[in-house]
Chain A
C-alpha cells in the first residue's frame, strides 16, 4: 500500500482539477473570491485562461456556469458549501437542476470542521439542500485518493454534480493502488455482522478507527463508506439491514436531511430495521479549533465509538 498522506480534500480537489484539465480542454473553473480557500487557485495558476473569478456573487456564478454548460463547456464552480448551496440554492435548482446542465458544484468548508470561522460558515445543510434538487448527484469523498477519483467521475458523468470538500487536513486511508470509485456504489471497509456503521466524508476515517477499536472489544461492526449520497446505494444498505439488523449512520452534517435520513428512507421502504443517526443534532456550530469541535460534537474516533456502544446496548 502506498504511504498515507495528510491533506485536506479541498487541496486534493484543486490538484485533481489540474490533472483532469491536462487532458480535457472543455474544463473551466469558476470561483467566488475564495480561490485561495477552495484551492481552485491551484488550477488558476496552471490554467489562468480557463479560470474565472466571479467575485462575491455566488448566484451569478452558478448562472454563468449554467450558460457555459449550455454552450458545451464543463464548468466546476466552487465556493464555500454555505454559499454554493445555500446562497445560490435557487440558481442551482432552476438554472442547473431543472435543465439538467453539466455543471459541477464544489462546496468547500463543509461541516463544523471549518473551525474558528464559526456557525455562519459551518454548513451542515448542504447535503440536505442538494438532495432536494431532482437529478443532482452528491459526492462526499473521505480522503485524498477518493477525492481524486470522485472529481474524475464527476467529469465523466454528464449532468449536475455536487462535491463536498473539507477544510481540515485529514489522513488518507484508502490504498490508491487498490481503489476504484463508482458513483452510487458504497464501499465496505470492514466486514462484520453485529451492526452496520455507514459513514460519509471527513468522518469515515474516524468511524473506521472506532470500528477497529470495537473489534478488539468483541463487537464486529460492518463499516460502509458511503461516498455518494445521491443516488444512494440501496443494495448495500438493504444487504446490511438484512445481515446485521441495525444501522448507525455517521456524518458531519445535520442529522436532518443528510446521510442518515437517506439511509433510513431505504430501510423504511425495503427492509425496516432501526437506523440511528450520529451527526450534528439540529444545532448550529460555534467557533473553535476543528479538532476540538469534532470531539465536542462526538464526531471523532472516541465520540463515534462511545455512541456506537450506547446504541448497541439499547
Chain B
C-alpha cells in the first residue's frame, strides 16, 4: 500500500464517519461510539480487503462480513453506501418506518448485509457456519466477523471459538473492536476481559494485535491472517470509542445516543475539517 492508497482510505473512512453521524442524527437514536471506533477497519475491509461486488451483492463466491456487534451498523451502512451497494441518501432514513436500514442489520432487506445480527454473540456463530460452508463447497471465500469487546462477555462467543478451532476454520477472521467501553462503563470495570489475547490463543486461535485506526497495521495483520493455515484468526484491534468526533472520544455516554442539532453541527464541522485537511 503506497501513501496515496493510505490517503484514499483515510478520506473514505472520514466519509464513513460523516455518514455515520448523519444517520444517527437523522434517526435521533443509535450507536455512534462503537460505529466510529469500527469505521477504519470496515473501510479497509470493504475498500481494500474483501472480494465483493456491489452490483452482485449475492454472489455465492463473495467474501462475507458479519457485524456481530450489530448495533454499530450505522458505520456499516455508510461503508456499504459509499462502496455503491445503495445510495448514500438512504442513510438519512436510518431507523425510520419503512426504511431498509433497520436499527440492527437485516440481511433480507439491505443489499450487502450478509447476516442479520444485533443480539450479541450470535454473529460469530453464523460466521462459523459460512466459513464451514466455504470449506465444504471448496469455494475460496473468506469470512470476517467483527465483535465488540463487551460482546466477548457472551458465552456464545466462546462456544463459537471452540467450534471454529475444532473445525480448523482458517478462512475465518474474528476482529475484536477493542475500544474498552460498554454501556455500563469500562469493560474492565463491568466484567473484566483482560488478556483477551491469551483467551483466544487458549481457544486455538492465531492472534494478532493492531491499532484499529492505522491502515498500515491493519493491512499487515490481515495479510498475516491469510498466511495462517489450520486454525482461525483473531485480531484484537485497539480502538478509540467515538474516534474522529472530539467530544465523543473515549466517552461511554456516546455508546448509544444521538447528537442534538448543535452537537451534530460540531461533529460534522470537525469531520469535514479532517476531510479537507486530507484532501489538501
A window 27-76: CB within 8 A of B: 28, 49-50, 52, 54-55, 57, 59-60, 62-73, 75
Q: Known: A28-B136, A70-B130, A71-B130. Is A59-B125 also a contact (CB below 8 A)?
A: yes
Q: Taking chain A's interface residues, is the majority helix, strand, or loop, or is none over half, making it mixed?
A: helix
Q: Is the CB of A90 within 8 A of B60?
A: no
For the complex, give the distance between the alpha carbons of A66 and B136 in Å. Answer: 15
Q: Return A87 CB to nearest CB of chain B, in Å.
A: 11
A window 51-108: CB within 8 A of B: 52, 54-55, 57, 59-60, 62-73, 75, 90-91, 94-95, 98-100
Q: Give the most central of B123, B126, B155: most A CB within 10 Å.
A: B126
For the complex, give the distance between the alpha carbons of A178 and B154 in Å. Answer: 50
B133 at the interface (CB under 8 A from A): yes
Chain B residues within 8 Å of A71, by CB: 60, 64, 129-130, 133-134, 137
Q: Is the CB of B119 within 8 A of A90?
A: yes
Q: Is the CB of B122 within 8 A of A99?
A: no
B window 80-130: CB within 8 A of A: 106-108, 114-116, 118-119, 121-130
Stretch among B157-165, B187-195, B220-228 lining the A interface = B157-165
Chain A residues within 8 Å of B129, by CB: 63-71, 75
For the complex, give the distance between the alpha carbons of A94 and B127 in Å. Answer: 14
Q: Which residue of A lies closest to B115 (CB)?
A: A70
B167 at the interface (CB under 8 A from A): yes
B156 at the interface (CB under 8 A from A): yes
Q: Taking chain B's interface residues, is the majority helix, strand, or loop, or is none over half, making it mixed?
A: helix
Q: Return A9 CB to nearest CB of chain B, in Å.
A: 27
B52 at the interface (CB under 8 A from A): no
For the complex, give the distance between the alpha carbons of A64 and B134 in Å. Answer: 13
Q: Known: A60-B160, A71-B134, A73-B136. Is A91-B116 also a contact (CB below 8 A)?
A: no
Contact digits for B161-191, partner A, Cβ 8 Å, 1 yes 0 no? 0110011000000000000000000000000
Q: Return B168 CB to nearest CB of chain A, in Å.
A: 12
Chain B residues within 8 Å of A64, by CB: 125-126, 128-129, 132, 160, 163
Q: Which residue of A lies closest to B143 (CB)?
A: A67
For the complex, give the distance between the alpha carbons of A44 and B159 in Å. Answer: 22
Q: Is the CB of A50 within 8 A of B125?
A: no
Q: Known: A50-B136, A95-B116. Is A70-B128 also a contact (CB below 8 A)?
A: no
Can you list 8 A-B contacts with CB-CB less than 8 angstroms, sorted by A residue number?
A55-B163, A57-B159, A57-B163, A59-B121, A63-B160, A67-B133, A95-B125, A98-B106
Known: A71-B60, A99-B115. 20 other contacts (CB 8 A): A49-B136, A52-B167, A55-B159, A59-B122, A59-B156, A60-B162, A60-B163, A63-B125, A63-B156, A64-B128, A66-B125, A68-B130, A68-B132, A70-B115, A71-B133, A71-B134, A73-B133, A73-B136, A75-B129, A99-B116
> Chain B interface (Cβ within 8 Å of chain A)?
60, 64, 66, 106-108, 114-116, 118-119, 121-134, 136-137, 155-156, 159-160, 162-163, 166-167
